[in-house]
Amino acid sequence: MNSIVINREVRLELSNATLMPISDPHAIPLKLDYLESLVLRLLIENSNNLVTYDTFLTHWRSTEATHNSLTRVVSSLRSKLRGAGLSNNVIVNTAKKGYTFTSHIEEYKEVAKQHIEDQIVLEDTNESIDKDQTLDTSLIAKVVLTVIFSLLIALVFVFSVTYFTTKPTSFDFQNAMTTEVLANSDIKIELAYNSSNGLIAYTTKRFDEDNWQVAIFDQEAKQKRLISNKYKNINKPAWISANELMYRESDENSCELRKATIEKGEITNSIKIFPCNSGSYSSSISLFHHDKVLFSDAELNDTASSIFLGDLTTGKVEKIEKEHGGGIGFYNIIASPDSELVAMLSSTDGISHKIELVDASDNWRSVWEISLKVTNFSVGWDGKTLSFLNNRRGITFVSFKGSNEVARNSVPTFSPIKSIVSTGQGLVMTSGELVGQGLFYADIYTGESASFTTGSNAKNNFGQLYNRDEILYISNRGGIKQVWSFNTATKKNTQLSAFDEEKSINSLTVEDEVQKLAIQVEDKIEVYRIEHNKIVGPIYSTKGYNPTIYKNNLIYSKYDGESSHLFSQNFSSFEEKKLIVKGGFISKANDSDLFYSKLYFPGVWRYHPDKEDELILSLSSNSYRWLVDENYIYFQNDQGSLFSYNIESEIKSKVEFQNCTQPVDIDKGKCVSRIHEPSINRIILLD
């Protein structure tokens, strides 16, 4: 989607992060800055689900992220949405937890609106069907190999066969060895490697801490030293000599770039070098020649960061006249003592991210660049080879002779990678999600429970109970998002899919009787067959949202520019599409009935094919957060508390299930619940 509609009132242009009123196509667009765009994109991707504070802050590529800065961004975003014509607040705050986006979204199409009469015709594109499609042998091989490698991930970070090759790069990555330098639950980001003595500096904090600090790890002595301040954030480490480290120290009101001296493993003599702006969205530091540093900083609060050249001898600072393009501006800079080429990372809209090499000797002219959808916190650059995360979340190595690219290779990864830095002979990387999102299984009646994603160090979502003993879910534990299965009897996790590239999966539904699985990928629904611990397909795809499987039918919602409606298609043919509920938004089913909520009318209705539907439960604004199990509807109020409603007795009561505090599925007394937990963050050396 290039453009979407919010609440029938506001158009969001994704390509340039602007808002426009639907009622006035000639109005001047309102520009979102990088963080406003990032927050809105996360809310839309998780529409109708709570996005926790930690989720926002861990997607924020800068360690300047704080709860106060997030509050400011959300307040500004709400103001701009109102300014663009949105009449209602669609960003709902759950106290001490996070935010929820409560509006329906749909792809924007410049077509004439049609009045809704007895029958509604909606455009369907990109539909395909292959009822006899089978899994080819190459896909089977990929599944087998992926499962084998995934079982090894907890022990070693593996690099294997390249999936794109031109000529060999100067770095012999195929024969490189991987070494786990450090592994614990402390968050680790912003690496700096000292090639003179092997010291590794990085920004870190514990899962429950507020302020960042810089750690210096001695690989030989296995010792760690901290640069910390109880009341300030310490981050952005950069080595400027064998025993001198620069870093950034800031709070809400002050900011300094400082230099510390390390002598015999001890940190001494920390002094201020340059002032900086505490209101920057992003910043970075890099040594440039022996007596100068490059750093990025915003001249004004909450504006794009520019590049500055600081003289370590005189203390003078000069702004580099390099266009940042707006948005967040330059959020990282990586220079090499062996080259006049400098790697710069920037983003104008929070959707695309640019890596470019610029020639410092030629007026900072860009000589090479690439735009990516995946976020690179940093890249490896040693003056000859540039290393970065590609759109498949593998690592690409690009070799240069002068300013000319001469070779390119890519390797897959088998764990989420966050930071990359060059050692001159290889790479140092951080592996694992900054904060893990896990899934917990619990039997409400027997008390049996298990956290089946513990140790995955990944984002795990959309757990659905299946075939009595299995739970299907989405996880990026292997690097990119795949469909996984957990067997509650054998306690075994199995990867079912073998997607080549990451899919933006927003929901999942599964039905054991028809052996079908449906996932929502952006604004499209893909249907797969489940066969022998693998999924086959997609066997069918259609435009739509919020899929549910009910009595051999795929139920999903579509949006016509004014309202949402529920449609049904039978799995036997997929040929006949039938409108079943005007105004229907989200549907869920038990063994006998189909229930749904409406887009603008909080509540739960029961569907009757032969008579008028009945409202069985009125709800507050969070009508989208509800589940059906047997004779009960479970829902969460605006404060996140869980309630049950008995459909027959009409009794409503607050419930407190142990190990089922944030349920994503409940089926016959068995619950799958989300949990946020520390992730094992690793520092990996590849050389």
Decide if pLDDT at 452 tops 70: yes
Higher pLDDT, 425 or 287: 287
- Look at residue 132 and tell me whether its pLDDT is greater than 80: no
pLDDT (0 to 100) of residue 366: 95
Q: Is the pLDDT of residue 322 over 50?
A: yes
- Measured CA to CA in angstroms, residue 210 lies from 26, 57, 77, 228 at distances of 45, 11, 24, 12
Backbone phi, then psi, for 55, in 5-degree steps? Answer: -60, -45
In which residue are the tokens 């580099």 written? 320
d(Cα 333, Cα 342) in Å, to the nearest integer? 7
pLDDT at 405 over 60: yes
- Tell me how far CA of residue 383 lies from CA of 341, 342, 627, in angstroms: 7, 8, 55
d(CA 485, CA 492): 8
Q: Dihedral angle at the C-alpha atoms of 289, 295, 299, 305, nearest 10 degrees?
A: 120
pLDDT at 139 over 50: no
Rg (CA), the chain: 26
Tokens 């290039």, located at residue = 2
In this predicted structure, the answer to whether residue 260 has a pLDDT above a threshold of 70 is yes
Residue pair 147/141 in contact by the 8 Å Cβ criterion: no
Task: Tell whether the model's pLDDT for residue 49 goes beyond 90.
Answer: no
CATH architecture of 192-385: 6 Propeller (2.120)
Query: What Cα–Cα distance (Å) separates residue 129 from each residue in 32, 556, 570, 577?
Result: 39, 17, 13, 13
- What are the angstrom distances between the C-alpha of 173 and each of 159, 169, 382, 600, 667? 8, 8, 15, 55, 48
Instruction: Return the DSSP state at 282.
Output: -
**Where are the domain boundaries for CATH 2.120.10.30 in the chain?**
129-141+436-613+663-677, 192-385
CA distance linking residue 210 with residue 229, whole number of Å: 11
Mean pLDDT on 540-562: 87
State the CB neighbour count (10 A cutoff) for residue 600.
15
**Mean pLDDT of all residues belonging to the chain:** 81
Read off the pLDDT of residues 637-680 as tens digits, 9 standing for 90 and up: 767 788 899 999 999 999 888 778 888 899 888 899 888 777 78
Reading the block at residue 381, the tokens are 């650059």
- What's the CA gap between 54 and 63, in Å, rounded? 12
Helix axes 34-45, 67-83, angle to 10 degrees: 80
In what order do the strands lie in the sheet containing 50-52? 50-52, 98-101, 91-94
DSSP string, 489-522: TTTEEEE----SS---EEEEEEETTTTEEEEEET
Q: Write out the residue limits of the CATH 1.10.10.10 domain(s) in the chain.
A: 3-103
Higher pLDDT, 455 or 193: 193
Q: Which of the listed CATH numbers 3.50.50.60, 3.40.50.720, 3.40.50.2300, 1.10.10.10 matches domain 3-103? A: 1.10.10.10
Topology, domain 129-141+436-613+663-677: Neuraminidase (2.120.10)
Looking at residue 472, its amino acid is: L
How open is the CA angle 192-195-197, to the nearest 5 degrees? 105
Name the band, by pLDDT with cuts 50, 70 and 90, for residue 90: confident
Give, as one character, the DSSP assignment of residue 456: -
pLDDT of residue 386: 95
Q: At 158, is the pLDDT very low, low, confident or very high (cuts 50, 70, 90)? A: very low
State pTM to two decimals: 0.66
The amino acid at 102 = T
> What is the longest distance spanned by two Cα atoms in the chain?
84
Tokens, residue 186: 């402390």
CB-facing half-sphere around the CA of 172: CA atoms within 13 A: 3
Whats the size of the chain, residue-wise? 687
Residues 462-512 have pLDDT tens digits of 889 988 889 999 988 877 889 999 998 888 999 999 998 878 888 899 988
Question: Of 420, 363, 359, 377, which is closest to residue 173 (Cα–Cα)?
Answer: 420
